[in-house]
Chains A and B, each alone.
Chain A
Amino acid sequence: MSAPTFAPARPAPAAGPLTAAGLADRVARVAAVAAEHLERTDRDASFPLEALEEMRRSGLLGLLVPESHGGLGGSTDDVVTAGIALGRADMSVAMIFVMHCQQVAAVVRYGNQRLRDELLPEIAGGRMYLASVTTEAGKGGHLLSSESALAAREGELLLDRFAPIVTGGEYADGFLVTMQSPPPSSPNQVSLVYAHRDQLTVERSGDWQPLGMRASHSVALRLTGTVPAHQVVGEHGAFRTIVTTVFGPMAHLGWSACWLGTAAGALSRVVKLLRSPQSRGRVDLDSELLLTRLSRARQRIDTVHALLDRARQVVATADDLSVPRVQLLLNALKITAADECYRAVDDLVDAAGMRHGYLKDSPTRLEHSLRDLRSAALNYSNDRLHLVDGKLALLDAEVRLA
């Protein structure tokens, strides 16, 4: 890829521990590039290559890579902070980033020494953007099973996997793929395998023309190839543990952060418009309907923020994330963030009216935010999570709160 010319050259980030300002500066650079290109990437449903390039250059792709492997040594909290900030600019870019971080977290925690030594410096150097391959035709988004069997042959693993939705899959440098563990015995025995792009034949099928999240470019891919045996992340069959300890919490915290950021960004743009000199005298700021709608939107955003912050603390401190009360809290975060962030922006559409609530060219960008946020309830379906939560609630007769 040629070096982009849209951002001023900056010195390489200074070594040393990551500071809040250092993180904020890097995130702001990515957000600025995302904002510059979002109209085109949304219109054309094209991947935000310029924002990805800035993630590479700023070191942000290596946010979760330990300093010992050349990364920024950041934490889950930093991913949440970055997700909110990027979500304010562009939800597709934010989701691409947090999902990459989710993959990196799995490699950092469960990759064997050889895989970590091979991968982590590449990620830290900005040379590796990772995509997740967990979707599978016919399993309805069920994460913990796979019908595609991985074959083992003399120190090698043979992959042949079709996935209907792979965010950023056409541009990823590597993939973490769920497959049925070898030898095939049960679809519930699932392994997570790393595959580098040049170890695979990647065939795309179909088009990507969604309502929102258009820049996430989540296409259908068929991956075939052979990888060395050490590229299994954790042991064979360990995917369930990876989901409970890393994938699940990172997904729900990261996604919720992006959605919260998108809703907060939308409210901010509406309030700035209402307070702008050109609105003076044209908007009745004593309108009870307007005030109530603004209040409701703000209330929804603060509710999600509080829940996100609590879930973040629990994930950082709980001994066992598999107990019902913790699972229920994490699922409640995802469900609530998906519903409330969407509704907050929907409230704002009513508050702003036809011109600034509904038209594409309004500086509020509510139309774009609303389309993007409509995906939140479908992205690991709220309906499915409610069924799981109903069963989990039955397991906690005392109703002990996390």
Chain B
Amino acid sequence: MDARFTELLTPFLKFLGEQEITPDTSLRELGLDSMQAIELLFAIEDAFGVTLPDDDMNDDTFATAGSLWTVVRAALDARYAADEAQVTAA
């Protein structure tokens, strides 16, 4: 997981304490609730310049740091592919 990503997650996890964020870190158990999901999405969009698909807005995506990172990573890959396609076309 990207260091920017774990840094961005930290303020949402008020019960994290001294623990390190790993892919298995449970977001819900450490304090993320449904009322904050939209703020977390904004933070991800601002940091990585990607929009996560509506289809991924489910409990599985927000279960762990790893599951959310998988979705962010897929959005990043899709953006890079689109950028490359544009460069090639130009």
Residues of chain A whose beta carbon lies under 8 Å from any beta carbon of chain B: 144, 185-189, 237, 240-241, 244, 320, 322-324, 387-388, 391-392, 394-398, 400
**Interchain CB contact under 8 A, A320 and B34:** no
Q: What are the nearest 10 A-B pairs in CB distance?
A: A322-B59, A186-B15, A189-B29, A395-B57, A394-B38, A322-B58, A323-B58, A188-B29, A186-B29, A320-B58
> Which residue of the partner chain, among A188, A241, A244, A397, contacts B54 with CB atoms under 8 Å?
A397
Contacts A240-B28, A391-B38, A394-B38 given; indicate if A188 touches B33 (C-beta within 8 A): yes
**Which residues of chain A are near B30, meaning CB under 8 Å?**
186, 188
Q: How many residues of B contact A (CB 8 A)?
A: 18
**Interchain CB contact under 8 A, A395 and B29:** no
Not counting A186-B30, A237-B26, a sample of 16 additional A-B residue pairs whose C-beta atoms are within 8 angstroms of each other reads A187-B15, A188-B15, A188-B30, A237-B29, A322-B58, A322-B60, A323-B55, A391-B35, A391-B38, A392-B34, A394-B38, A395-B41, A395-B54, A396-B54, A398-B54, A400-B54
Residues of chain B whose beta carbon lies under 8 Å from any beta carbon of chain A: 15, 26, 28-31, 33-35, 37-38, 41, 54-55, 57-60
Q: Report the tally of A-B residue pairs with Cβ distances under 8 A.
A: 52
Residue among A188, A240, A323, A395 facing the most chain B CB atoms (10 A cut-off) = A188
Contacts A240-B28, A320-B58 given; indicate if A388 touches B15 (C-beta within 8 A): no
**Which residues of chain B are near A324, meaning CB under 8 Å?**
54, 57
Shortest C-beta distance, A18 to chain B (Å), equals 32
**Interchain CB contact under 8 A, B35 and A387:** yes
Q: Which residue of A lies closest to B15 (CB)?
A: A186
**Interchain CB contact under 8 A, A396 and B34:** no
Shortest C-beta distance, A150 to chain B (Å), equals 14
> Which residue of the partner chain, among B28, B35, B41, contacts A188 with CB atoms under 8 Å?
B28
**Which residues of chain A are near B57, meaning CB under 8 Å?**
323-324, 395-396
